[in-house]
Amino acid sequence: MISLAGRDILHSWGKFVLTGIGLGLLIGVTLTMAGVYRGMVDDARALLNNSGADLWVVQQDTQGPYAESSSLRDDAVRSVLGLPGVARAANVTYLTMQVRRAAAAGVAPAGASDDDVRAMVVGFEPGQPGEPGYLVAGRHITRSHYEAVVDIRTGFVLGERIRIRRHDYTVVGLTRRMVSSGGDPMVFIPLKDAQEAQFLKDNDAIVNERARTAANPSLNRPGVPGLLEAIQASQANNRNVNAILVQVQPGTDVEGVAEPVRRWKHLEAFTREQMEEILVAKLIATSAKQIGMFLVILAIVSAAIVAFIIYTMTLGKIREIAVLKLIGTRNRTIAGMILQQALGLGLIGFIVGKVAATVWAPVFPKYVLLETGDAVRGLLAVMVICALASTLAIRVALKVDPAAAIGG
């Protein structure tokens, strides 16, 4: 028995292939949109994974350090380290800023240069939680100052000098998928440098502040030598960090460690689940919903278009179907032909879409995560839609009067 569907496709293969590709691109867009949504959530999760922490200790009554600003003294880590169940704890600072190439710095004013990259500068203690877990090139930081490990997305290369505030840093290592919840690539620098970068004012501001203090008669008293210097020294340094990353000993209940921190240390502590809740449900909620909404509409529109294409393809073959009926072809064969064609079209469309989405996903500026689960669901959805659309077409085909074949 010859395949009616195959014969028909062979007959008008150009139309079939082009329709399939067009459909595929549409499916590709839908898959990509799903990937954008997944990528967004994954960025948030990547941030949590990379920090390697079981517990985040932040300023009391804040939901920092990612969702809100949090600031605590950098010696608080010592009292956290002394709690039972804590294996390791380390200070960390986060600061999102424009990072410039050192060569470009100074030539163009800040902000005007194309040579700067939006990045999240992470201050970490080498060998402690918060350190990048793996590198794709180079080495970890060995000096306690002025070295940086950067995400490959920043575009910096090994050995390059980058400028953060007033100091130049040498890029010694590259890593991957180290991003902030907003998808900005990370730049890892030693904690002390990061503290300085975060809280250091520019030179003009420092000079102005000194002059302002010196002009204050109560702070610059002639009878008390050294007072002015002491005040100015205390204004110039900062001992704050944004969070403490805590790793608990294996087998310890994380909540059991968090509870005394909240109660006795007067700090806030979030477990991994709570942090994920904050990041996914609060921080990126609106933009994720926005994308999700768009994804839903796109999926509906795609389904409608697929259905209409199948339907119009069948309508275009009304005369041929009438002929088939006239020569006594069974309804089942005709229905089978239309269903096979629809499913074939759906399959081709899906493959083209999946390939297209995979090809263009890395070009996107933010991370696009194409999940296998999404692909399988997409395939099922496409097949179901194609099958449903073909029933519509089959109904029309079966109603065709065989007389239509001879112009009746």
Partner 1 sequence: MKRSSIGTRRLVLGLLGVVLIAAMVYVVMRSGPLAPTRVTVVEAAEGRLTPALFGIGTVEARRSYVIGPTVAGRVRAVAVDVGDTVKAGQLLAEMDPVDLDERTAALDASVARAGSAMAAADAQRRDAQARKELAAVNARRYVELGQQNFISAGAVEARLQEQASADAIVSAADANLAAARQDQQRLAAERAGLRQQRANVRLLAPADGVVTSRDAEPGSTVVAGQAVVRVIEPSSLWVKVRLDQGRSAGLAAGLPAQVVLRSNPGRAFAGKVARVEAISDSVTEERVALVALDQAPASLSVGELAEVSVALPSTERAVLLPNAAIKRLQAQTGVWVMEGGALRFVSVRIGQASLDGQVQVLDGVKPGTAVVVHSEKDIGAHSRITVVDSLAGRTP
Residues engaged in binding partner 1 (CB under 8 A): 9-10, 13, 17, 49, 52, 75, 87, 127, 133-140, 142-146, 152, 157-159, 172-174, 176-177, 192, 222-223, 225, 239, 249-250, 348, 351-352, 354-355, 358, 370, 372, 375
Strands 55-58, 86-101: parallel, antiparallel or unpaired by DSSP?
unpaired
Q: Given the complex with partner 1, which of 67 and 152 has the nearer CB atom?
A: 152
Q: Given the complex with partner 1, which of 118 and 140 has the nearer CB atom?
A: 140
My answer on whether omega of the bond before 65 falls inside 30° of 0, hence cis, is: yes
Shortest distance in whole angstroms from residue 225 CB to partner 1: 4
List of residues 6+ apart from 250 with CB closer than 8 A: 87
Q: Given the complex with partner 1, which of 203 and 286 has the nearer CB atom?
A: 203
Shortest distance in whole angstroms from residue 68 CB to partner 1: 27
Q: Given the complex with partner 1, which of 358 and 391 has the nearer CB atom?
A: 358
For residues 379 and 350, the answer to whether their CB atoms sit within 8 Å is yes
Q: Given the complex with partner 1, which of 64 and 173 has the nearer CB atom?
A: 173
Amino acid letter for position 348: I
Amino acid letter for position 231: I
CA-to-CA dists, residue 312 to 27, 150, 280, 283, 305, angstroms: 19, 53, 43, 45, 10
User: Which residues sit opposite 267 in a β-bridge?
Assistant: none
For residues 318 and 404, the answer to whether their CB atoms sit within 8 Å is yes
Q: Residue 108 and residue 41: Cα distance in Å, rounded?
A: 36
Q: Given the complex with partner 1, which of 10 and 297 has the nearer CB atom?
A: 10
For residues 276 and 49, the answer to whether their CB atoms sit within 8 Å is no
Shortest distance in whole angstroms from residue 75 CB to partner 1: 7
Shortest distance in whole angstroms from residue 361 CB to partner 1: 8
For residues 38 and 178, the answer to whether their CB atoms sit within 8 Å is no
Shortest distance in whole angstroms from residue 398 CB to partner 1: 28
Shortest distance in whole angstroms from residue 43 CB to partner 1: 14
